Amino acid sequence: MPAAQPALEKLLGESDSGESAFAIPTRDQVRVWGARSFVSLLDQGLTSAAGFVANVLLARWMPAAEYGAFAVAFAGYLFLTLFHNALLLEPLSVIGPARHVAHLGEYFRAQLRVHGVLVWPLTAITLAAALILLQFAVHTPLVGALIGGGFSLPLLLMLWLTRRMCYVLQRPLIAALGSGLYFVFSLAAIVALHAVGQLTPFASFIALALGSLIGSLVIFRKVIANNRPDKRDARVSWRSALAENWTYGRWVIGSALFYAISTLTQTFFTAGALGLSAVGILRAMQVPSQAMTQIIAAIGLVVLPALSYDFGRGQYKRLRHNAFIVSTTLGITATGFALCMVPGEWRFESVLYGGKYVAYARLIPLLALIPVCNGLCTGYSMALRASQKPHYDLISNGVASAVALISTIPFVRHWGVAGAAISMVLSFAVMNLVTLIFFLLQANDKTQQLQAMEAEARSFPGVALEDDV
């Protein structure tokens, strides 16, 4: 893949002498980063819009219990994606730019094979859960939702993988093309299913999988098939790629388990205590805030590979500076979004659901606090991940999971669906607060190291220090 490294180095400001031009961005670099950030937002916006519109349509057209079944199955899908992210997507974004920038074509092919190795056991787990549930509750719509989610899982995750490759290459326009196709075909399939009276939780997952398949194939053709490795490229086996992923991702797996506990406990407990209809209500009230949450995730996709490159080059000052800018910008934006929700929650509910969930509209601005918490700490979280210190993420999610477990049961029993929403917000707030504390401690350690090196350099006048340690 001969063009991959020059393109990435040109974007990052790498000169022929090996010194980074990152400290003083040129006008061309600012224009390129601005354009790519815009396209990244477009890409994530299309994906978010597809999920947003799909959930709105399903919530409007399905009975509350069926939509609740879809929501529970989708929560199970999100739980399994955490493992896929830990062992594939996260290492791809961190290790790829830091170690494999010279042969990304071979590296991507190895990761595609890793995807195949990982995804089928996850599918088997989903289908096994559906079969077990079938033995106890034959007529529940949750069985069909789980089966549909299980069959769709490989294709849904494939779209995430191919889009992440685009971000490692800093080519978000290709990812946006795939997301656009996903948007068009998945929603068209949902509308068609509703028109013929076949819109069920099972069919909804199949519709999403169809859009994912089409989007993934287009990205694959443009990124993978059109970037064949030359003879100079180092061979990367899927086993070595998986071993690298595991070295980094084993920490993230623990973090993923805790994250699942902190974010999905409320959904599953609400389903058991209040029924599938209550889960459908909770999910419907969370849909507006998820738009901002996914926009924040889009920025993270752009930031993580760039910060990983900073870390690989030893540019720690630049890494911390960029983390501060990202967190401040996203925090202000998410706060403005949440404030806009406060005076118009009833109007939002009416537009989205036609008054179907009007009694719960007050939960919309409450759940909008989740992206506020995420936005204020996204840059700091990405900086810690780029620094290849995933154990901090593990601890943050561990504390948040404890908060979720302690708060969910009494909150749901006392306040019902509103209690589940409060528990969600509380767990996200704690998670991001702990992340911020770790970032500040890490930054303080680096500052002390710099001061020690400067003191040592003053003792030896002939020793020159790099400006960015």
- DSSP for 227-279 reads S---TTSPP--HHHHHHHHHHHHHHHHHHHHHHHHHHHHHHHHHHHHH-HHHH
Is residue 17 classed exposed, middle or buried when 0-12, 13-18 and 19+ CB atoms within 10 A define those classes? exposed
Every domain of the chain and the residues it spans: 4-14+28-451
Any bridge partners for residue 439, and if so which? none
Task: Please answer whether residues 95 and 168 qualify as being in contact, where contact means their C-beta atoms are separated by less than 8 angstroms.
Answer: no
Count of C-beta atoms within a 10 Å radius of residue 30: 10
Q: What is the CA radius of gyration of the chain?
A: 23
pLDDT tens per residue, range 253-272: 877 888 888 888 999 999 98
Answer positive or negative: Cα dihedral of 57, 202, 183, 85: positive
pLDDT of amino acid 219: 92
pLDDT of amino acid 128: 92
* CA gap 120, 233 in Å, rounded: 29
Percentage of residues in the chain having pLDDT higher than 90 = 39
Retrieve residue 251's tokens: 């920490």
* CA gap 32, 77 in Å, rounded: 35
* CA gap 416, 410 in Å, rounded: 9
Q: CA–CA distance from 353 to each of 195, 347, 420 (Å)? A: 18, 10, 21
Q: CA–CA distance from 355 to each of 103, 225, 260, 335, 349 (Å)? A: 54, 48, 31, 26, 6
Task: Please answer whether residues 373 and 429 qualify as being in contact, where contact means their C-beta atoms are separated by less than 8 angstroms.
Answer: yes
Contacts of 199 (CB under 8 A, 6+ apart): 58, 61, 62, 190, 193
Rounded average pLDDT over 209-215: 96
pLDDT tens per residue, range 349-384: 888 888 888 889 899 999 999 999 999 998 898 888
User: Which helix (H) or strand (E) element contains residue 167?
Assistant: helix 141-168
* CA gap 134, 14 in Å, rounded: 58
Of these ranges, 6-15, 110-119, 233-242, 384-393, the one predicted with the greatest mean pLDDT is 110-119
SS3 81: helix
* CA gap 182, 216 in Å, rounded: 8
Rounded average pLDDT over 238-254: 83
Any bridge partners for residue 20, and if so which? 14
Task: Please answer whether residues 126 and 21 qualify as being in contact, where contact means their C-beta atoms are separated by less than 8 angstroms.
Answer: no
This model's pTM is above 0.85: no
pLDDT of residue 1 exceeding 50, the answer is no
Rounded average pLDDT over 216-245: 76
Give the pLDDT band (50/70/90) at residue 200: very high
pLDDT of amino acid 463: 44
Count of C-beta atoms within a 10 Å radius of residue 23: 13
* CA gap 433, 397 in Å, rounded: 11
pLDDT of amino acid 235: 74
* CA gap 248, 253 in Å, rounded: 9
Percentage of residues in the chain having pLDDT higher than 70 = 83
* CA gap 365, 137 in Å, rounded: 36
Comparing 9-23, 70-84, 159-173, 382-396, which segment has the lowest mean pLDDT?
9-23
pLDDT tens per residue, range 27-64: 665 566 666 667 877 887 888 889 889 999 999 999 98
* CA gap 220, 136 in Å, rounded: 42
Comparing 56-65, 229-238, 397-406, which segment has the lowest mean pLDDT?
229-238
Q: DSSP character for 14? A: B
pLDDT of residue 448 exceeding 80, the answer is no
Establish how many alpha carbons lie within 13 A of residue 92's alpha carbon, considering only the half-sphere containing its beta carbon. 30
Task: Please answer whether residues 280 and 59 qualify as being in contact, where contact means their C-beta atoms are separated by less than 8 angstroms.
Answer: yes
- Phi, psi (deg, nearest 5) at residue 414: -85, -40
Of these ranges, 160-174, 205-219, 304-318, 339-353, the one predicted with the greatest mean pLDDT is 205-219
Count of C-beta atoms within a 10 Å radius of residue 37: 15
Task: Please answer whether residues 283 and 421 qualify as being in contact, where contact means their C-beta atoms are separated by less than 8 angstroms.
Answer: no
